[in-house]
Amino acid sequence: MGMTLTEKILARASGMQCVHPGDNVWVQADILMTHDVCGPGTIGILKREFGKNAKVFDRNKIVFTPDHYIFTKDEMCLRNIDTCRAFAKEQELPYFYDPGTSSYSGVCHVTLPEKGHCRPGEVVFGTDSHTCTYGAFGEFSTGIGNTDAAFVMGTGKLLVKVPASMKFVFDGKFPKGVMGKDVILRVIGDIGVEGGTYRAMEFAGSAIAGLSMEERMTICNMAIEGGAKNGIIAPDAVTLEYVNRRNVSGKKYECVYSDPDANYFSTRTYRAEELVPCVALAHSPDNYAATKDCSDRKVDRAYVGSCTGGKISDFAAAAEILNGRKVAVPTYLVPATVEVAAAFDTVKIAGKTLAHIFAEAGCLPPAPPSCAACLGGPQDTFGRTNGNEVCISTTNRNFIGRMGSKSAQVILASPYTVAASAVTGRITDPREFL
């Protein structure tokens, strides 16, 4: 019996010829990612368990990206960044993206790809559930807690149960107006928020192959919202073009593909043409509705940002809608990284920069790159809900209180749908404007 992409990567990383779903194997990590929210706790455990002079297993394999609570006056948050900084210095970490310096980048899940830390066939662990994003590059990538992360930091290894794979095949071509976000919201709507628990979600088919890396990242990013251990897409020419342009160390890697006779837990096949712009209504990512079916619902604010929906192509999509139009509700823009923020002044649509389009449309001035209000955060966080707002957002979670206030509602949607809804002040199918 052949192996799936996920099984093959885990077999290789554990030195096994073959692994099966349910096997527990010790996996060698290629990258451990952590940030300001979980980094200090992870460091605390590393020192407690391995001694105060403990060293990380390989300083070239730690990627440290403070990104959550950066632009705040909260003293505890600032202390946590200092803790990260002191550790990075002590351990001489080459990949510490330090806030307040020219090396700062922003949101981890966009930083790792941009800075060349994502390569096909590798294994990434990260102290963040959306670590599954990097599966877009054909690697195994999953979120872990501080204790497991400290174990990886000290030993380079982690015990992993091999997940069975669920395959989602999209044949054809996605229609205009449908983005990666619509694809993953549809899948989560179909399988439910625990439909992928203990599984790998593998996305395949000609429509997926037709997507950019950033769109693939959006899809894999939200595998966790289906409960999955990892999301993954086989590498192809699009992947290699991106990876080879950025690969930080020129590190060698080997692409891995599912065997033709691999065994899947389940397979769902979609005709890409049938997908439509959609939303997940409050308070669950599986609360699927076609955008056109809820156009009577008003929104109080719009938010474009986060690892899921704060990339260059996300803002370009929003700008495509907002060009020459005015927003009807406060519209918050938070580029995921410094590179994305810089693109506001370089990427043009119809001869106008994104920055120009957003300003003309009446959006609030963009915030500096970070996770910002995607997960609420300290009281002074840009875009945080503090009352009973209804916020339509390109982010990934709409749990009660997720963006700050327990009384607020968060509606998840693509950048197209968020921008179209910002223009009208109600949930709006972006195809009306495209």
Partner 1 sequence: MNVITGKIFVVGDNIDTDQIIPAHYLNLVPTNPSELEQLGSHALSGLPDALGRFVPEGAMKTPYTIIVGGRNFGCGSSREHAPISIGAAGAKAVVAESYARIFFRNCIATGALYPVESDRRICDEAKTGDEAVLDMGAGTLTLTASGKSFQVRPIGAAKDVIDNGGLFEHARKSGMLK
Q: Which is nearer to partner 1, 6 or 421 (CB)?
A: 6
Distance CA 373, CA 403 (A): 5
> How long is the chain?
434
Q: Which is nearer to partner 1, 19 or 375 (CB)?
A: 375
Q: Which is nearer to partner 1, 200 or 275 (CB)?
A: 200
- Smallest distance, Å, CB 232 to partner 1? 16
- Smallest distance, Å, CB 118 to partner 1? 19
How many other C-beta atoms lie within 10 A of the C-beta of residue 365? 10
- Smallest distance, Å, CB 284 to partner 1? 6
Q: Which is nearer to partner 1, 163 or 430 (CB)?
A: 163
- Smallest distance, Å, CB 222 to partner 1? 12
Residues facing residue 398 across a β-bridge? none
- Smallest distance, Å, CB 44 to partner 1? 3
Residues in contact with partner 1 by the rule CB under 8 A: 37-38, 40-41, 44-45, 48-49, 68-69, 74, 76-77, 80, 83, 126-129, 131, 143-148, 151, 193-194, 197-198, 224, 227, 229, 284, 375-379, 397, 399-402, 404, 406
Q: Which two tokens stand for residue 27?
A: 């996996």
Q: Kindly give, in sequence order, each residue whose CB lies less than 8 Å from that of residue 46, ignoring residues fewer than 6 positions away.
A: 54, 56, 150, 153, 154
SS3 207: helix
- Smallest distance, Å, CB 38 to partner 1? 7
Q: Which is nearer to partner 1, 279 or 373 (CB)?
A: 373
Half-sphere CA count of 130, side-chain side, radius 13 A: 23
CA 77 to chain centre: 22
Q: Which is nearer to partner 1, 198 or 257 (CB)?
A: 198
Distance CA 282, CA 287 (A): 7
SS3 403: coil
Would you list the DSSP string of 351-385? TEEHHHHHHHHTPPPPPPSS-GGGG--STT-TT--
Q: Kindly give, in sequence order, each residue whose CB lies less than 8 Å from that of residue 85, ignoring residues fewer than 6 positions away.
A: 96, 98
Q: Which is nearer to partner 1, 68 or 85 (CB)?
A: 68
- Smallest distance, Å, CB 74 to partner 1? 6
> Locate tokens 């200090």: which residue?
40
